[in-house]
């Protein structure tokens, strides 16, 4: 009986333990966390990590303002505006959250599956929503006004009415191939040294630069056909099309590593002008590749996505770095180099005073027109101004543009060289002989494979640069394909492309066709003679024509006559806003807008009728940004103060605003109140000490029985005795209030120093 009782108790305890273990485990029925609460916790923890990293970067930059490193300067030049900054921060939070969810095992299948595929769709949607990424993925609100049907928005949004985010700023770059990350999320190829590709580890990017790409400044072969302006134009449109904001968290938020201090692998709009597609791109691709990959304009195609791809942005269109000359070539009015010593790139970066004090823009423009571009030669890819001396400003080091380009491609998850050749319909290269044929340079092929081991492993930027040129081109077959595909998409997917018949009249298109880069130079510089084709290297003076003979646009083709019998006139000025006139089906329409920080109250558009405007004009009211609880304008460390048309993020002393203007950063100094308190305290202590000494002096001089008395000294000052009978007592000073003991008749040579 006793044995049965003991057995029953054991069974009861065991079952109770099992039941409570089930109920209390994560995801249990009663007291455990639900998946929703776990996701909220993961996202909140990730947000704190990202904010901590952002804060650390701001504080680091605050204390390094006196000595700016090249890496800091590069990041400062790409600091995003508030909307881009918010999108970047949300993306950082989402990435960190996905990694943490995968680490905790929220997977639908085994660990061999990529985390982004293994996480459920509902979980990914929840993370996107909680991290703040979702609003940047949803379609924006598109205005339905007369102007919106005639002119593009500055953000590029709503160009395509069915897909309003296609081609817009603050959207992800397009992927033409699936990404190649070692962890399936963000770890670039080569991140883990034990990873092998075709049996070989990927070489460090700096080693690739040193052994294959680097060339001396003297190793420059001039282009016998094109001017240096061809390179400058490519740089200009590249930074317009492919500009990407600096990451919100330059340090790795999940480990706190400063990427500038450690080598450890821790974890727009598109104003593609006529000049670009008519004059620039055909010279880069060559006539055959241009016809195959771009071809003639057939009209606007709403099914074409014009979004810039990451392979174009981070690899293909950066071929131009191999055409940058190590010198800034400046010429005088007779196109002679008579402007002092040679100007190396290292001495020109971020030095605008050279334009102000050394002749202005015109000498530089003459050099771009009359000096040849650097030819992209396989043994002279990037000169040392770019690989060893980029952004020399101090002793804090320099940057290597070639290594940046290679690492940028890996960071973006670009697959290897052969994957992109296959994407473009080119044959895969499997052997050393195949690569030698593609480059037409056996020595180059040997050096590449000695580092990479197999053609599959080659970074796409290097592979594209190494290919031999197509006929009449300045790129090989791979980059011609990728650049051509992107340019065609930018043209055909643009509802406002200049050749689209719904945008301009025939007369306007005819005037636009007369436009040229040479005319732009005539209208915006002091040059009076230019080559008719600005991209062809010109010989002075025979290849230069007077600006009077360079045709330009006649803007009278855009003149709009007011409709007859107009009885509407114009409304009064809109405070904190304005309006533009638009014509819609022969009727006058006014479209109103407000300045930044204000919002319309009333109709956005009014139409003129026979009886006047069909509605009263709207007003612009101030937006109180501080009331936004979903996306507050200031960080939690700051106080938000609404101002007219804007807001301010105020900080408590000793904190100061960070570089984003919304986060408070510890300045590292004492608060002003503490400094004032210390000063007042020191003054009080000194005052009390002085007062005490004065009282003591008076007492000693006035009281003969003082324990310390002056006695006659040796002429250099009084001697002092302790208690006892004094030998000679000084008389009190005549003016005790002055704190000085004057020489009295009873003191002889004594001088009492009581102050």
Annotated binding site for heme b: 321
User: Cα separation of 133 and 137, whole Å?
Assistant: 7
Mutual angle of helices 35-62 and 82-103, in 10-degree steps = 130
Neighbouring CB atoms inside 10 A of 457's CB total 24
Q: Return d(Cα 38, Cα 130) in angstroms, integer.
A: 12
Q: How far apart are CA 293 and CA 310, in angstroms?
A: 18
Binding residue ranges: 321
Kindly list the catalytic residues: 239
Handedness of CA 337, 342, 346, 350 (dihedral sign): negative
H helices, E strands: number in the chain? 24, 20
Buried b (16+ CB within 10 A) or exposed e, 78-97: eebeeebbbbbbbbbbbbbb
CA dihedral 421, 424, 425, 428 (to 10 degrees): 0
Beta pairing, strands 612-613 & 605-609: antiparallel
What's the CA gap between 142 and 738, in Å, rounded? 84
Q: Which residue has 């109770």 as its token pair?
A: 16
Q: Quickly tell me which residue has 């011609």 as its tokens.
A: 480
Backbone angles phi, psi at 341, to 5 degrees: -65, 165
Q: Taking CA 560 as the corner, what is the angle to CA 556 and CA 561, rounded to the nearest 5 degrees?
A: 115
Query: Residue 49's closest CA among 262, 244, 266, 261?
Result: 266
Query: Both tokens of residue 656?
Result: 């100061």
Can you tell me the distance from the alpha carbon of 208 to that of 409, in angstroms, rounded to the nearest whole number? 14
Q: How many residues does the chain have?
A: 755
């Amino acid at each position: 009986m006793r044995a049965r009782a003991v057995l029953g108790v054991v069974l009861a305890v065991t079952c109770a333990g099992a039941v409570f273990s089930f109920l209390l485990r994560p995801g249990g029925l009663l007291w455990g966390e639900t998946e929703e609460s776990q996701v909220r916790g993961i996202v909140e923890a990730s947000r704190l990590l990202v904010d901590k990293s952002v804060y650390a970067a701001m504080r680091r930059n605050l204390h390094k303002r006196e000595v700016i490193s090249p890496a800091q300067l590069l990041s400062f030049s790409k600091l995003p505006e508030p909307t881009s900054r918010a999108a970047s921060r949300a993306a950082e939070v989402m990435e960190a959250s996905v990694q943490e969810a995968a680490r905790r095992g929220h997977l639908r299948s085994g660990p061999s599956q990529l985390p982004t595929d293994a996480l459920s769709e509902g979980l990914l949607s929840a993370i996107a929503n909680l991290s703040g990424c979702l609003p940047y993925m949803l379609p924006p609100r598109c205005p339905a006004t007369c102007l919106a049907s005639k002119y593009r928005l500055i953000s590029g949004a709503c160009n395509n009415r069915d897909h309003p985010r296609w081609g817009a700023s603050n959207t992800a770059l397009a992927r033409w191939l699936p990404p190649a990350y070692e962890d399936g999320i963000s770890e670039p190829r080569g991140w883990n040294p034990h990873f092998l590709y075709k049996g070989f580890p990927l070489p460090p990017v700096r080693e690739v630069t040193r052994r294959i790409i680097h060339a001396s400044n003297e190793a420059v072969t001039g282009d016998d056909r094109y001017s240096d302006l061809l390179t400058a134009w490519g740089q200009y449109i590249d930074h317009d099309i492919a500009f990407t904001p600096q990451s919100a968290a330059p340090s790795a938020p999940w480990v706190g590593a400063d990427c500038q201090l450690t080598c450890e692998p821790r974890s727009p709009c598109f104003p593609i002008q006529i000049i670009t597609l008519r004059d620039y791109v055909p010279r880069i691709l060559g006539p055959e590749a241009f016809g195959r990959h771009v071809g003639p304009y057939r009209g606007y195609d709403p099914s074409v996505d014009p979004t810039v791809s990451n392979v174009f942005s981070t690899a293909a269109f950066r071929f131009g770095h191999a055409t940058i000359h190590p010198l800034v070539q400046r010429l005088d009015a007779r196109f002679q180099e008579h402007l002092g010593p040679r100007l190396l790139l290292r001495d020109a970066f971020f030095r605008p005073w050279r334009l102000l004090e050394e002749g202005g823009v015109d000498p530089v423009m003459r050099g771009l027109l009359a000096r040849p571009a650097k030819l992209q030669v396989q043994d002279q890819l990037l000169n040392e101004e770019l690989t060893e001396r980029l952004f020399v400003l101090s002793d804090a080091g320099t940057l290597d543009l070639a290594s940046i380009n290679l690492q940028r491609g890996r960071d973006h998850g670009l697959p290897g060289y052969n994957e992109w050749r296959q994407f473009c319909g080119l044959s895969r290269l499997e052997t050393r002989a195949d690569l030698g044929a593609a480059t037409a340079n056996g020595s180059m092929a040997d050096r590449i494979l000695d580092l990479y081991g197999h053609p599959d492993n080659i970074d796409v930027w290097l592979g594209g640069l190494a290919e031999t040129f197509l006929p009449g081109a300045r790129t090989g077959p791979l980059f011609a394909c990728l650049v051509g595909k992107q340019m065609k998409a930018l043209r055909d997917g643009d509802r406002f492309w200049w050749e689209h018949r719904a945008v301009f009249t025939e007369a306007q298109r005819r005037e636009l066709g007369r436009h040229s880069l040479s005319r732009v130079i005539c209208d915006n510089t002091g040059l009076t003679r230019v080559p008719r084709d600005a991209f062809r290297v010109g010989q002075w003076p025979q290849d230069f024509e007077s600006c009077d003979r360079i045709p330009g646009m006649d803007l009278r083709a855009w003149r709009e006559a007011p409709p007859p019998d107009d009885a509407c006139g114009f409304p009064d000025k809109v405070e904190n806003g304005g309006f533009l006139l638009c014509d819609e089906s022969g009727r006058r329409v006014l479209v109103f807008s407000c300045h930044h920080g204000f919002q319309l109250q009333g109709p956005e558009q009014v139409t003129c009728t026979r009886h006047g405007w069909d509605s009263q004009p709207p007003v612009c009211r101030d937006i109180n940004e501080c009331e936004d609880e979903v996306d507050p304008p200031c960080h939690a460390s700051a106080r938000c103060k609404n101002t007219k048309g804007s807001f301010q993020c105020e900080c408590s002393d000793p904190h100061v605003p960070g570089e984003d203007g919304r986060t408070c950063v510890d300045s590292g100094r004492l608060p002003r109140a503490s400094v004032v308190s210390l000063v007042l305290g020191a003054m009080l202590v000194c005052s009390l000490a002085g007062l005490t000494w004065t009282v003591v002096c008076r007492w000693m001089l006035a009281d003969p029985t003082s324990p310390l008395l002056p006695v006659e000294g040796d002429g250099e000052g009084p001697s002092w005795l302790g208690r006892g009978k004094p030998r000679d007592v000084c008389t009190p000073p005549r003016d005790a209030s002055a704190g000085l003991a004057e020489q009295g008749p009873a003191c002889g040579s004594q001088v009492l120093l009581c102050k």
